[in-house]
Amino acid sequence: MRRLPVFFVIDCSESMVGQPLQAVQEGVDFIMNSLRTDPYALETVYVSVIAYAGIVRTLVPLTELFAYQACELPLGGGTHLGKALDHLAKEIERSVIKTTADVKGDWKPVVYLFTDGRPTDDYEGAISRWKAKYENKVTLVAIGLGQDVDFSILKRLTEHCISVDQIDQDYVKNLCKWISASVVSQSISVGQHQDRQDLLPLDERYMHLAKERLTFRKSKADDRTVTIVGRCQKLHHPYILKYSRRLQYGELSDLNINIYNFKLEACTGISEDYFSWTDHAAEKAKINTSVLDGSAGCPHCYAETAFAMCACGSLMCYDGYSEYAVCPWCQRQISFSVSGGDFDLTRGQG
């Protein structure tokens, strides 16, 4: 029996924190569950799930559908697309059976690559390696979630670039219905011994084929979202503050003036696992608190603010009245003074 290998390569960067990641998690579960009810898919489809942030790992190695066990998507700092492509290439080499003179190998593999931003690593080499070796051997569908996707990069990888306008349950569910219908249709055509590649029609209310967009962004960290990691002073658990850019003056932002700011969107508790999915060697950008607007309480101990800073440069929560505290990052005892001044913080890679 020739197999149809389907790889899901999923961006789990910190800008996905909270509801977007939850929507994608439900979407992946939905795809697997609906494929498992389809007789054609059950017969030929093998699935694999790879997650990437600052680190890339295979969550589910290529597995036949009925043996697939649900996996939990992680969260980490960074969107290392280059590393993800190299990792995917290795997985394909390792697990896809090639056709030789004696063996009829697997059907042409299909990859669904998800991202919500733009790469934070050096992806040029990886794109060239991918194009040289896999462009004609693998069907790659790149899916950009939300408004921050740099399609000029994805377009170089594949002609199949799909833009999903928003990252919420409705939009992601619709996308995932389309993906599972696409996989079923591919499994039917290989059942008829055809390797077909054309995409099923898209529901234009939710998604469309992406056109290239001009980008003004220069720094490596994501310019439309700012994420900052803190720790609860009492319980030591980490959390993420996510800010979204509010005003956009296009090319004016090339001037060195703060004519934009970022509004707090969410303050969410995260697991310690976050640090093992983050590339700690990556360049650390700073952000001045004067452009950050809005504050939140600690999601772990409900202290008044999640936005207190130690002299070591790290963020922690503060109850608003204790005179002394121990920094959960550097373990030093610190005394708090109320400061109206702005300061620089290390921001996440997005």
Q: Binding residues for Zn ion, per CB under 5 A?
A: 232, 298, 300-301, 303, 310, 312, 317, 327, 329-330
Minimum gap (Å) between residue 284 Cβ and Zn ion: 16
Q: Which is nearer to Zn ion, 83 or 300 (CB)?
A: 300
Q: Which tokens belong to 213?
A: 């967009």
> CB of residue 347 vs Zn ion: minimum separation in angstroms?
17
- Produce one character per residue of 322-349: b if its CB has 16 or more CB atoms within 10 Å, e if not: eeebebbbeeeebebeeeeeeeebebbb
Q: Minimum distance between the CB of residue 346 and Zn ion, rounded to whole angstroms?
A: 12
Six token digits for residue 316: 């922690």
Q: What distances in angstroms separate CA 158 from CA 179, 187, 212, one per listed residue?
A: 17, 21, 12
The CB-of-294 to Zn ion minimum distance in angstroms stands at: 18
Phi, psi of 238 (to 5 degrees): -80, 160
Instruction: List CB contacts of 347: < 8 A, sequence separation 6 or more.
Output: 221, 226, 227, 228, 284, 285, 286, 287
Q: Report in angstroms how near the CB of residue 285 gets to Zn ion at its nearest.
A: 19
Q: Measured from the CB atom, is 21 or 298 closer to Zn ion?
A: 298
Nearer to Zn ion, 256 or 331 (CB): 331
CB of 298 to Zn ion, least distance (A): 3
- Closer by beta carbon to Zn ion, 55 or else 298: 298
Nearest CB to Zn ion, comparing residues 42 and 326:
326
Q: Which is nearer to Zn ion, 154 or 298 (CB)?
A: 298
- Distance separating alpha carbons of residues 202 and 177, to the nearest angstrom: 10
Residue 112 C-beta: closest distance to Zn ion, Å: 38
Cβ count near 180 (within 10 Å): 21
Q: Is 140 helix (H, G, I), strand (E, B) or coil?
A: strand
Which strands make up the sheet holding 207-209, listed edge to edge?
56-64, 45-52, 4-11, 110-115, 139-145, 161-164, 207-209
Select 30 or 336, whichever has its Cβ closest to Zn ion.
Answer: 336
Rounded Cα gap, residues 167 and 29, in angstroms:
16
CA-to-CA separations, 85 to 119, 222, 226, 230, in angstroms, rounded: 11, 20, 25, 30
Between residues 129 and 234, which has the closer beta carbon with respect to Zn ion? 234
In angstroms, give the least distance from the CB of 233 to Zn ion. Answer: 5
Which residue, 141, 144, 160, 196, is CA-closest to 4? Answer: 196
Which residue, 67 or 311, is less far from Zn ion as judged by CB?
311
What does the block give as tokens for 61? Answer: 């190695």
State residue 126 phi and psi, 5-degree precision. -65, -40
Q: Find the shortest distance in angstroms from Cβ 243 to Zn ion.
A: 19
